[in-house]
Structure 1
Amino acid sequence: MTSVESSTLIYINDISTGTATGQASNIDAVGFYYFDGSASKWTKLNIGGVTADFTPDAFIDDSANSMVKLGANSSGGSRAPGSDFVIKDNGRVGIGTASPSQLLDVNGKARVRNLSTLTSSNVSPVYSDENGVLGKVAISLQSQIAFYRSDVAYSFPASSFNAGNKQIIPIQSSHASLNTIGTTVDTSGVVSIAQTGTYLLGGSINFQLNMDDNDSYAYIAINLELSTDNGLTWSSISGGRPLFPRVVTNAVRNYPFVIPSVISQLTSGNKIRISVYRSKTDNNTVQGTSMAAIGIGLSYGAPAYTFSFTKL
Structure 2
Amino acid sequence: MKRVSFSLLFLLTHFAFTTAQTGINTPSPSSTLDISAKNSTGTSTDTEGLLVPRVDRQRAQNMTTVPVSTLIYVNNITTGTLTGTAARIDSAGYYYFDGTVWTKLVTSLNIYNSDGILSDPRTVTTNGNLLSFINGVNNVKLGTSATEASLSANGSSRGWLNLAGGSANLDYYVNNTGVGQLVSFGTSTQLSIGSTNASPLALKTNGTDRITILSNGNTGVGTSTPNTKLEISSGTANISGTKLTNLTSLSPISTGQTLGVDSAGNVITVANPAPASVTTASVNITTGASFNVNDTTVIMVPGTSQTVAIPTGGKALFINFMLGIDYGSNPAGSGASYYEARLYLDGAATDCYMRTQEYGPGGFSAQFSFNTVKFLAAGNHTIDVRMTRTFNNGVASGTNMLCIPISMSFNATYLN
| TM-score (norm. length: structure 2) | 0.32
Structure whose CA Rg is larger: 2
User: With structure 1 as the length reference, what TM-score do the two structures score?
Assistant: 0.41
